[in-house]
Structure 1
Amino acid sequence: MALVAVLLWRKGRPLALRVVRAFFVPKLAFVWLLMSLYVAVCVWLLAKLNLWEWPNLKSTLLWWLSVGFGSVFEAVQLKDKPNILRKLVRDAFKLSAVILFVVELVSFPLWIEVLMLPLLALLTVLTTVAEHQKDQPGIPQVLKLLRGLQITTGLVIFGVSCWLVASSVTTFWSLTTLREFGLPLLLWLMFVPFIFLLAVFLVYEEAFISLRVRPVQAPIARYARWRALVAFGWNIDGVRRLARDIWLRDITDKQGINTAIREIKNLLRLEKNPPAVSHAEGWSPYAARLFLKEYGLVTDDYHRTRSDWFAHTPSVQLNKEVLTDRASYSLNGNDRAVTRLRLEVDGSEKSDTGEVQRAFDERARTLLTKALGDERATTAYVGALAAEPEAFVVDGIQVSLSRSRWGDSGLGRYSRELSIRHPEHREVG
């Protein structure tokens, strides 16, 4: 009744219908069909192994309509966070599996189950899709209501199930109930490969779509994708690096793609066993990218561009202000070593500038300590502050601070930058 109320609510109905339409867009509908066929194959295999029987149909449908559909969206997270795969496997053995087991031990009257399963499925679908449209106007309010309905419905069903089990506990424990308990776990474990392969497919789609819209690279987009598939398979990191390098270095021929693949493979091997870099050359890129790890400023992989070698981290928020202050960190150098480290803080005049300056000082001192050592770090920072905007030189390494401002005092912004430049650094372009 509560779900019907959402659909009848004058303000909520258009938003809910928008969510439903988003669920059935052609590309997404194809994913649902593919997922359903995969689950059907899993059930067929379990039946062949005598681990599934027709009495298990109810629990299978409930798993498919709830966990199956909801888990497809885990692929979106997996493509951005590959380590989440281990979490997905662990989730199969958590409390949710036990709750589902208790719920499935009992059977409600047929008319209740006929109504309950489609409504639960619709509620799950609406919630899952709404979670991925939270930036749309009005959707957060609908999502909050749908989540409340999910929790309430789940608690009611679980409570009734526990009461029925407790009232007839001796009749429930059998080989059938054991199979009911194991089935959701088996289905989930068999479903993880599908989620992983779907995530890989999404990465390929996302990585090479930009090449198809560039006239000079559109002719090689298909070749790049197949070469990536052969060279990297489900190595998400390698695929993304190749697409990025093709774009950044403006590669327009097959030979360039093959060269980029060889280079990426070599870099992946080096990252597992980084070579030593002498102080005379600069800093090890594999160590330098982690110099500010404690502040969340870890760069991406050190890679070649059209001019030099480079790595950076997207800016990280320093606070929760409306006009948030942010910090970023980047490396430049050659194929052997990093020869320039750069820290930048971008702040708003409306924020607490003293707090932002303290955040910059803390990160700057940490970076200098990692780059120069404890003894020279303080001397270098004090010297750079006194010499600003000129560089302070310590053992041939130039340490410089700079600042800039733009806009008015109300909406203006400013930046603070620390640059640590090795004698081997060569400016490009």
Structure 2
Amino acid sequence: MSATATDPNLQHLTQAREQIAQGDLKNAALTLNKANAQWPQDPRVFMLGGLLAEKSGNVKGAFEALRKSVSLAPDWGPGLLELALLLARQNQFQEAIETAEKVATLEPQNLQVLAGVIDIAHRAGHLDMAIRHLRRGLDLVPGDVALRRLLARDLSDQGQHEASISMWNALVQEHPADAQSLVGHVQACIAAGNPTGARDSVAALLGLAPDDAVYQYYARLAHGETPGQQPAELTRAIFDNMAEFYDLHMVRGLKYQLPKQVGDKILARHPDKKINVLDLGCGTGLLGVCLGRLDGALVGVDPAMKMIEQAARHNVYDRFHTVNLHDALRETPAALYQVIAALDVFIYAGEVTQAIPNAHRVLAPGGMMVFSFEAAPEQGPDMVLQPVGRYAHKRSHVEAVCESAGFATVEIEETVLREENHTPVPGFVVTAYKAA
């Protein structure tokens, strides 16, 4: 007996899945209608209907279809997994995690389920869950390189530096020309506060790609230097990867309130909104959302195109430039903006000795600059690169640079920038005014 005879919907379902994958949504809908007419209670039809609805931009319809699939087959792994993944993509993490754990219990040997569950754990920032399932995956597929890389990275992020570096060392020994493992080892050493321990891996990376700006940056760290800024290629990759869920992660997860606080400060000074604003490191446009449409120009600058794509959805920015902060300031004409903001940007942009004077030049008379910084100890260097890979600045140094640049008034407010691992990150906000 043929598969089609025992499963009369199989041909329709296979065709619909291929049509959805190819973006042929109209014909996929017609195919699913045929399948539904043939077997109205087939949970697979509703599962694929959910994927089709999401592809069409109908998130509500996607949830309805996937929940219907699960109601028809409560213990069917594929339907549960697709629901969990949709929940995670829509940042509904608590239910996503509960559903993912259920499907992992139902299908503990299924590697596709394992991959989905690990993805959900990472999206939710649930490292304990991710590590647990990665270890389970390595029991199923001992020695798997991709799983070992993910586990080593998660261990580093969780602060288990010795275990992480040990795993990276093993991967590098087994695959000495594998750039991903070499980079992972370098990053783990930096996170552990021992960048010099990565010298051999950095040398191997430069042997593979001598002109790579990120590898050159790592080489300087490995030899005890503090580069003035992170290369755009590094920050771009970081933020492109997190653009989709950045807003929720920052505001809800890390309790990031700076855009609201700074937006209120700007609007209090300019209630008529007749201003030009340069938002350096605009990210997904959180400051723009707080400012709303201006009777002037709101210009966003960010090296990460995917972050800019998210910012553009708010429909408040007039234009964007995909460059880093230093290039943007250097190339902007003088006296063009009433406000320049850079929130959580110098933690990557680093050096202020040229950026702040350039900001003063770019500001119109009477203009306002608002920059935020993570705080470095006053008894140490003017700027330090922390093990987490972000720059911290000494308050007195930033204040002195502002005064030397010619700002008439410099106000500095100590604040908690956000939380990290449920611990407040101390910093300060500089508001400097150019003479009218």
Say whether the fold is shared (TM-score over 0.5). Answer: no
TM-score by length of 1: 0.27
Which structure has greater helix proportion? 1
> Quick one: higher RCO (CA 8 Å, sep 6+), 1 or 2?
1
